[in-house]
Structure 1
Amino acid sequence: MAEYWNYELLVLGDYTLSAGRLTVAVGLALAGLIVSRIAAWLAYRWLDRRWDLSAGADRAALRAIKVAIVLIGFYLAVEQLGVGRFSLGQIQQSELTVGGVFLALIMVWVTWNLSQVAAELVNQWIAGQGIGRSLATLITNLTRAVVIFIGFYVSASSLGFDLNVVLLPLSALGLGLGFGMQRIAENFVSGVILLGERPVKDGDVISISGVTGVVESIGLRSTVIRTFGGTEVIMPNSALITNHFDNWTLTNTRVRGDANIGVAYGSDPEQVMGILMGEMEAHADVLEEPGPRVFFREFGDSALNFRVIYWVEAPAKRLSTLTDLLCSWYQRFAEAGIEIPFPQHDIHIRSGTLPAPEDPPG
């Protein structure tokens, strides 16, 4: 046994590969394969009980665990063979070895897959917080970016890279680009403010710079507003920060509708107000609280003028509700013999002869 264990299979200079060393290395690699399958099965059972992850996140987590254990087994095998100490060169006064590169690749692989799992966990937390779609996407992407950056940073540091040497030129380059990209930077910062303070969120109905519509999405540079005519307007985020805009649905979705109604002189004001109020109270989309109101505004030039106010649950219902009310009011007025006047002018012509024009001077 001892003779087999010390039998030299390969001699290259100072390096000697014995049968025993090769046997242990193969055993470590096989152990990594076996343990990876057992660990993946146990992890699947644990994840299935503790976390309600999506299929993609489950696969990413299991793949990260399985491949990481396999790679660790191969790493230990490489170290056992003595190959891991082979130098590949110098990096910033640090020796780059085969084992170090192998270990760095393991960390990159695991970090990449764990970023997907972390993003899924963050998504699950966001789902219960009532956070808008745009902010949720930003948080998820930032989570993945942070996890990936940490993984690459640790991997590069383990290889001997001094990342400060790389980060300093990048920061100087970023400063130079910043002066030439102030508008983009302004919109980017505005997007972060919008997503953080949330004065407007996905689905809100807003009016800004003559544009009224529904907010489709809020990105880091611009906000997409879909008008009621179906047009998509790309609004720079800085416009939403520096300009005044009306948010119809910031705290609730209720909006007020109103209309001015005129009836002919000779109509009974109490009867008119009763018809107006009755039709609003009977409409399914008119809210009971705050309830509808009717006001007798004035004696107009050719009509008795009334003003009606009502509330609906959503901005999209305001015009359709007004259409229904106008049709029902018109029908009820016709049934009650109440006329809707139209402006008219009386022209009085006096009888007699017109004086003859004088002759122009000579």
Structure 2
Amino acid sequence: MNKFLILILSAIVFAGNQSTQAQTNSLKEAFKDKFLMGVAINRSQINQANKEEIDLITSQFNALTAENDMKWMYLHPKQDEFNFEQSDKLMELAEANDMFVVGHTLVWHSQLAPWVFKTAEGDTIDNAELTNRLKNHISTIVGRYKGKIKGWDVVNEALAEDGSYRKSPFFKIGGESFIENAFRFAHDTDPEAELYYNDYNLINADKRDGAIRIVKNLKSKGIKIDGVGVQAHWSLNEPSIEEIETAIEMYAATGVKVMFTELDISVLPSPWEKSTADISTRFENSPTMNPYPESLPDSVQTQLANRYAEIFELFNKHSDKISRVTFWGLHDGLSWKNNFPIRGRTDYTLLFNREMKPKKAYHAVIQTVED
């Protein structure tokens, strides 16, 4: 065999190997030198009820967030009662597969237990009692997983859309000190854990500036905060890449890590002028609002893939500032966007389809690293 033919055959084999590698590569492997790749998992997955789902989770991702089971109403349903059954199972899954766990979330105005703001007589508690309850809640939960859960969403969604503080019961009773106390109590309980502020629409200028104000206020008082979690519930067109990049740079300039904590991209028309993730909001279903009830046209699959690609090209560019990207759900069939803000719609927001097969968007995301 002459040398020229050997070179051609070698090139073909090499190209074939490269192609196979690209097809079989996982998200966590592709981005291992950039940032963690995470996924939010539901109770069925925490209980490992579906082996195919667990295999996909553990092969593709290296960070886990409980979609619901670590929220107050589940972990602390009564004042004198904690329920760690599901969170312990989550830890077992993570530890068996060497996965980073995000504790989501310690303090949030939604999905609370009904006792949180009330006395035994049904009156509203005062700030001193709220502080005591926050301390007990946070120190008990963080203490149980000290050294195991290395990152906590300490406070979730404490801002209104204009960047002012949301007028939640936490704020009405405790003012902004409830945020300061929450971070203090978490740090005192586990000084090594990373502590995050998490919210939606943090790309929008007013809310972005509000989050930066929280970071600067905590830092000015010597209170530990390590990162800002940007809930990335986005669409095919919004926010713009320029807006996302500006936010990354501005958050990083405060000295904290940036995380994209709840990434999904809706392909459906929005009933709002501005996007939101306020779970209390609902609209009526209609054929106009649910244009793809059976399947997604290939042209829209391509749009989704291109959108994910441009987002991850930006993430790669700023991987020195970004520590984690977490998808909010494993596959399209489990996306919360199928029912929000309009119940009964069919959306296609994630990288895996309802049969748990990788979509064009998955390959587009991988390709941003291969390129």
The reply to whether TM is greater than 0.5 is no
In terms of Rg, which structure is larger?
Answer: 1
TM-score range, shorter chain: under 0.3
Q: Which has the higher contact order (CA 8 A, sep 6+)?
A: 2
| Bigger fraction of residues in helix | 1
TM-score under structure 2 length normalisation: 0.18
TM-score under structure 1 length normalisation: 0.18
